[in-house]
């Protein structure tokens, strides 16, 4: 007897539109500027060779080093498989499926929506206004049954920071009602804007971090949740028994040494110089309509014909990220900041396109 396997799947999974990661979208090129990865790699070597034992639940030295890096206590930190696991973990811990809601503000990182749909949590999507800022009046009107608010700061894919006074206000109106989750995946590119200092006085604040971006370890899949101890203890009940493999914690611990943190900061300074140069050059390309300011390792650009630009550069092995279908991002492409040579390739290709 034959039957349709799909009929066994949950209804919400059958209708789910999955998140399309850069690698899932594919492409053939030698200038990869579509995934916000750091353009250069730092070499690491495994110091632990025995793999027959399960890893530590929360690797002690790694957590201690991240605590020192963030000026927090170790009991305020939870390590996870990238920030992506943490996004979903928080929903699993605090939201009742079909009853509770989350809220996010598009255009923003797509996994907030996808994770909610997978778990079966309803959501409010409150679009940003003006220069990609929070629409506080509308957010305030839609807090019924909302347990979690996710904001990405700097925001992906727009690259901007949210007004800090708006974040203070958001913390005020959610106190005692909901948790505010601030995704700081890109904060090392504008470290002065971190909200870690607010954890002390705002018990309902959660901050997400990752080693994927500035630490140049996207392939490692290591992230961190920063929050008050009560939240961390609850998350520890839900997270998988062995979140990080031994090789992951081994390399992450090395990356968090004082020497490698200094190296990371120096690499970020160089990348930010490349970002400034790329923005200046993009503004001189006739095929560009607008270049948005950025505090991250990517820049959002509105073109006169984004699909033509995307396809033409794709065919030349320069892979960018199409944002045209996202709310408010018509004719936009997101360009990760690469090496100076990679940035020069982009500008040369765009100038040649402009001459046609």
**pLDDT tens digits, one per residue of 166-199:** 999 999 999 999 999 999 999 999 999 999 999 9
* HSE-CB of 350 using CA atoms within 13 angstroms: 29
Kindly state the tokens that stand for 274: 């490349």
What's residue 1's pLDDT? 63
* HSE-CB of 8 using CA atoms within 13 angstroms: 4
- Return d(Cα 213, Cα 232) in angstroms, integer: 23
* Structural domains present in the chain: 5-40+260-354 (3.90.1150.10), 60-257 (3.40.640.10)
- Return d(Cα 67, Cα 57) in angstroms, integer: 16
Q: Is 293 left (phi over 0), alpha (psi -120 to 50) or beta?
A: beta
Q: Which of 210, 215, 209, 186 is nearest to 41 (CA)?
A: 215
What's residue 5's pLDDT? 86
What's residue 354's pLDDT? 62
**pLDDT tens digits, one per residue of 204-262:** 999 999 999 999 999 999 999 999 999 999 999 999 999 999 999 999 999 999 999 99
Mean pLDDT of 122-137: 97
**pLDDT tens digits, one per residue of 274-294:** 999 999 999 999 999 999 999
Kindly state the tokens that stand for 251: 């390399």
Total-model pTM: 0.96
Which helix (H) or strand (E) segment is 264 a member of? Answer: helix 258-282
Least reliable range by pLDDT among 13-17, 119-123, 171-175, 189-193: 13-17
Kindly state the tokens that stand for 210: 């990752």
Kindly state the tokens that stand for 122: 């309803």
Of the pLDDT bands very low, low, confident and very high (cuts 50, 70, 90), residue 356 is low
């Amino acid at each position: 007897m034959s039957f349709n396997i799909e009929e066994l799947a949950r209804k919400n999974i059958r209708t789910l539109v999955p998140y399309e990661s850069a690698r899932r979208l594919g492409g053939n090129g030698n200038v990869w500027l579509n995934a916000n990865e750091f353009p250069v790699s730092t070499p690491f070597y495994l110091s632990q060779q025995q793999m027959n034992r399960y890893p530590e639940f929360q690797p002690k030295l790694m957590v201690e080093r991240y605590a020192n890096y963030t000026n927090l206590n170790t009991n305020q930190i939870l390590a996870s498989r990238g920030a992506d696991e943490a996004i979903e973990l928080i929903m699993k811990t605090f939201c009742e499926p079909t009853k509770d809601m989350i809220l996010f503000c598009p255009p923003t990182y797509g996994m907030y929506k996808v994770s909610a749909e997978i778990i079966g949590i309803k959501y409010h999507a409150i679009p940003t206004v003006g220069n990609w800022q929070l629409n506080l009046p509308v957010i305030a009107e839609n807090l019924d049954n909302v347990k979690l608010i996710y904001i990405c700061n700097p925001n992906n894919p727009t690259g901007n920071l949210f007004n800090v006074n708006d974040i203070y206000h958001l913390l005020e109106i959610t106190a005692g009602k909901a948790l505010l989750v601030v995704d700081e995946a890109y904060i090392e590119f504008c470290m002065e804007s971190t909200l870690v200092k607010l954890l002390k006085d705002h018990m309902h604040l959660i901050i997400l971090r990752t080693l994927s971006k500035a630490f140049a370890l996207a392939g490692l899949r290591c992230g961190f949740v920063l929050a008050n101890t009560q939240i961390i203890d609850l998350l520890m009940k839900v997270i998988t028994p062995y979140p990080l493999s031994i090789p992951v914690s081994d390399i992450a611990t090395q990356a968090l040494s004082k020497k490698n943190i200094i190296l990371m900061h120096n690499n970020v300074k160089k990348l930010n110089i490349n970002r400034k140069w790329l923005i200046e050059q993009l503004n001189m390309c006739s095929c560009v309509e607008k270049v948005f300011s950025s505090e991250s390792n990517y820049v959002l650009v509105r073109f006169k014909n984004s699909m033509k630009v995307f396809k033409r550069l794709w065919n030349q092995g320069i892979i960018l990220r199409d944002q045209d279908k996202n709310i408010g991002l018509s004719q936009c492409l997101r360009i990760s900041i690469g090496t100076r040579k990679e940035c020069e390739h982009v500008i040369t290709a765009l100038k040649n396109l402009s001459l046609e």
